[in-house]
Structure 1
Amino acid sequence: MNKAIVLTGITTTGTPHLGNYVGAIRPAIAASKDANVAPFYFLADYHALIKCQEPEKIRKSSREIAATWLALGLDTSNTVFYRQSDVPEIMELAWMLCCVTAKGLMNRAHAYKSAVAENEQDGEHDPDKGISMGLFSYPILMAADILMFNASKVPVGKDQIQHIEMARDIAGRFNHIYGEHFVLPEAIIEENGATLAGLDGRKMSKSYNNAIPLFESEKKLRKLINKIKTNSLEPGEPKDPNGCTLFSLYQAFASKAETDEIRRRYAEGISWGEMKQILFEYINNHIAPARERYEALMQAPAHIEEELQEGARKARAISVPFIKTLREAVGISRISL
């Protein structure tokens, strides 16, 4: 049986937080143990250069993200876990794809259009001011990530659907010119995927500065949870769990029975202080074993690198012969043996 290839990229520009864990990492770790799927997970360090020109930040983030996924139990025996920059064939394919991609298609990319609109709103004479070719051609590199391994399924958020559609367009154009080489990828949208609220009630995000780092120390975790905004209802007054950040965080980790019990406590008027203590203890107990493994891995960078290099070997066992085939297809080959 041919396994479905599922590919996910992780941008290396920050420290993983609880929202990342619940929304993306936890389901991906579970998928890594599915014998019917061939998962490809990669650190998208070249993509990170589009938004970040701080080398140390990218290096630190790469290390933290790799350690996080390994500490949480990623099954590397069933998964290809690699760093994008360790597979140079991806960049070569990106150029081949650039040469068949219409500029007009890239003009329609949401990120580019948003940047142009912002410039126009600010009264800039040059609508492209500050826009790099990295931002403009980002969807082409994303297409290369996907098409290099002929991933049939790509889990993405709704804001990334357009990029998968573009990858399909680009693959179709290449196939039309040079023959059938690429599978057309399909976007997999988690309609019921969990989105956590942050300290201020908005979506948890590094850009909002409202995130709770996944492996924060116990002391700092308690302090951050105590900072979560609540309303002014007193102890004993019934409280509505819907829309409550404390409840949504608890629900993301607890079982249905545990969640129902807390819902009952809300109706009885649980105090915010008690709820924050319950939430801290529950999350801390949940992540403590993985936090211990994470801290050990952060002290053993050689082991992290070994895992990434093993993933790169698996990836290049596919990419090296495939790029050779693609070179032949486009007419780049030796004149004689």
Structure 2
Amino acid sequence: MGAMVPKGKIFSGMRPTGRLHIGHLSVLQNWIRLQQDYDCVFSIVDWHALTTSFEDVQAMQTNIREIALDWLSAGLDPEISPISVQSQVKEHAELHLLFSMMTPVSWLERCPTYKDQLQQFGLKGKEINMYGFLGYPMLMTADILLYLADHVPVGQDQLPHIEISREVARRFNFLYQVELFPEPQAILSEVPLLPGIDGLKMSKSYGNDIALSASAAELKEKVRLMVTDPARVRKTDPGNPEVCIVHTYHKIYSTAEEVAEIEEGCRNATIGCVACKQALAAKLENMLGPIRERREALLAHPGRIDEILAEGSRQARQKAAVTMNLTREAMGVRGVLD
């Protein structure tokens, strides 16, 4: 028998900024698939949340638990991959500090999301032009390289951050004449664009989201409120599915054959909006029902969430300690920091 090929390594995380909605589910489903083929570490990145919400920390611990609940309810398995909390693994901060000593500021300033988000938050009256926000990609780089991750599942908007992590890895290896850090490759997540029930961007703050934790009654009500073709007043009026949010959801959650039938029925006025919504609600209930059941089982043992996060963070620190020993040695600071 040939030697076993070692698994690739993956790091990924989410900021604890509020409950997750069904737009996040495709990301979690991708993580669950990746668990089977890669050595993964998943982290609730609370320090990242502070870069834009440093004044609003009252709900931080609640949000951490809620996200952990959502992850576990969706099927992420802590027995396969550690589920950690960023701030409970101090090595993230140490590696971020060491990387900041050798990374040009211009690399961070040229990141396209930096100025875009400064402007977006500024329009909301929120000032985030802080040292920590400028260094967001550097903290993300430390998150990834701390576990020597060679792959990172991300969306298109995160590609500039992955490129910075590649540049930092390359620069570190060159400066210190080591082959320690891999140059991470992005795994582009094909996440469908899911609008809110009113057609705007889905967000808890808009009240237009469908939470992963939604009850059956809440789910039905959200679907009932979905915006349809405003020109279709009566069932006998032909509709335009292209301007209907219910149709947008059907294209994601229904089969191609079902979508074709719905489109024809809408245009020919042989199916009404109520029936179309009922069919969608049934699809979503089939998807969210098992998630809800797993969530209720976890809530029956509230201490279990804390145990999983503590154990996941302990395992993450074990992995991180190996990387940090090698990093300190390469930078000549091992005797100072140990």
Q: Normalising by structure 2, report the TM-score.
A: 0.88
Determine which of 2, 5, 12 is the counterpart of 2:9.
Answer: 5
Counterpart Cα distance in 2 of 1:116 and 1:242? 34
1:180 CA displacement: 2.0
Query: Across the two proteins, how many residue pairs are aligned to each other?
Result: 328
Over residues 16-54 of structure 1, what are the superposed CA-to-partner deviations in whole Å (9 max), with x where a residue is unaligned? 0011113x122222322x2x2222211111101112233
Q: 3-state DSSP class of the match of 1:275? A: helix
User: Please, which runs of 5 or more residues in structure 2 have no aligned partner?
Assistant: none
Tell me how far 1:171 sits from its aligned partner.
1.3
Distance in 2 separating the partners of 1:120 and 1:12 = 22
Q: Which moved more, 1:277-286 or 1:168-177?
A: 277-286
Q: Does 1:30 align with 2:28?
A: no
CA-to-partner distance for each residue in 1:139-195, whole Å, 9 max, x for gaps?
0000000000111111111111100011111111111111221000111223x4311
Shift of 1:220: 2.1
Displacement of 1:260 in angstroms is 4.1
Identity within the alignment, %: 33
Identify if the C-alpha distance between structure 1 residues 5 and 130 changes in structure 2 by more than 3 Å, giving closer, same or farther.
closer
- Aligned partners of 1:89, 1:25: CA distance in 2, in Å? 25
Q: Secondary structure at the match of 1:334?
A: helix
Gaps of 5+ in 1: none
- Cα RMSD over matched residues? 2.6
* Residues 173-252 of structure 1 aligned to structure 2 (within 5 Å): 173-178=171-176, 179-190=178-189, 192-206=190-204, 208-231=206-229, 232-233=231-232, 234-252=234-252
Contact 1:115 1:131 in 2 (8 A): no
* 2:51–2:128 contact (8 Å) kept in structure 1: no
User: 1:69 matched to which residue of 2?
Assistant: 71
Displacement of 1:228 in angstroms is 1.3
2:42 match: secondary structure = strand
Greater mean deviation of Cα atoms: 207-216 or 281-290: 207-216
The amino acid across from 1:230 in the alignment is T
Distance 1:152 1:121 in 2: 37
1:42: which partner in 2?
43
Deviations 1:90-131 (A, max 9, x none): 110000000011011111122332355579999x9xxx9651
Q: 1:81 to 1:272 in 2, by over 3 A?
A: same
Matched position secondary structure for 1:5: strand
Q: Is the alpha carbon distance of 1:11 and 1:115 closer, same or farther for their aligned partners in structure 2, counting shifts above 3 Å?
A: closer
Q: Structure 1 length as normaliser, TM-score?
A: 0.88
Describe the shift of the 1:310–1:256 C-alpha distance in structure 2 as closer, same or farther (beyond 3 A): farther
Aligned pairs for 1:34-183 (under 5 A) are 34=36, 36-52=37-53, 53-114=55-116, 130-178=128-176, 179-183=178-182
Question: SS in structure 2 opposite 1:216?
Answer: coil
C-alpha distance in structure 2 between counterparts of 1:212 and 1:170, whole Å: 39
2:20 maps to 16
C-alpha contact 2:44 2:84 (8 A) present in aligned 1:
yes
Distance (Å, rounded) in 2 between the aligned partners of 1:307 and 1:313: 10
**Counterparts in 2 of 1:243 and 1:7: CA distance versus 1, 3 Å:** farther
Structure 1 counterpart SS, 2:44: strand
Q: 1:118 to 1:65 in 2, by over 3 A?
A: closer
AA of the residue aligned to 1:328? E
Separation in structure 2 between the aligned mates of residue 294 and residue 268 of structure 1, nearest angstrom: 41
Larger deviation: 111-120 or 87-96?
111-120
Shift of 1:4: 1.3
Distance in 1 (alpha carbons) for counterparts of 2:128 and 2:248: 38
SS state of the match for residue 183, structure 2? coil
**1:256-278: per-residue Cα shift (whole Å, max 9, x none)?**
44444434433442211222222
